[in-house]
């Protein structure tokens, strides 16, 4: 489970689409009280920061559309409450770049 802190335009197709799916999973856990992955560090860092998670989703949508994908799964803005900036990290930004480099994918890092 991963929400990158790297600009979506740098993510390869697989990481962009994967993050979109995982973001929806985290959103569902936090807004509907789902139990799966509710104790995962990636989920925990978004507690109280649904506005920030919503804004990340908006950035992902913009990049998906730029690449020609259609987007059919909007998040309800009325639930986008709390802090609008993410300051907690599972892995520091520099480590995230290293993680992606090791994957030898098409990410532009």
**Is residue 42 in some structural domain?**
yes
> What does the mean pLDDT of the chain come to?
97
pLDDT at 1: 87
85: in domain: yes
Asked if residue 83 belongs to a domain, the reply is yes
Owning domain of residue 80: 8-102
Question: Does any domain span residue 17?
Answer: yes
pLDDT digit string (tens) for 32-59?
999 989 999 999 999 999 999 999 999 9
How many other C-beta atoms are found inside a 10 Å radius of the C-beta of residue 36?
11
The set of residues, in sequence order, having a beta carbon less than 8 Å from that of 96 and lying 6+ positions away, is 4, 5, 6, 89
Domain tally for the chain? 1
pLDDT > 90: what percent of the chain?
A: 97
Residue 60 CB contacts under 8 Å (≥ 6 apart), including other chains? 8, 16, 19, 20, 23
Q: Is residue 108 part of a domain?
A: no
84 found inside a domain: yes
Q: Would residue 109 count as lying in a domain?
A: no
């Amino acid at each position: 489970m991963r929400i990158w802190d790297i600009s979506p335009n740098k993510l390869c197709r697989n990481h962009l689409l994967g993050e979109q799916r995982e973001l929806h999973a985290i959103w569902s856990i936090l807004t509907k009280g789902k139990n799966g992955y509710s104790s995962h560090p990636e989920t925990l860092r978004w507690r109280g920061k649904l506005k920030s998670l919503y804004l990340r989703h908006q950035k992902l949508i913009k990049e998906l559309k730029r690449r020609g994908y259609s987007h059919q799964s909007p998040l309800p803005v009325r639930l986008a409450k709390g802090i609008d900036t993410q300051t907690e990290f599972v892995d520091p930004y520099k480590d995230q770049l290293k993680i992606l480099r090791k994957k030898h994918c098409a990410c532009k890092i």
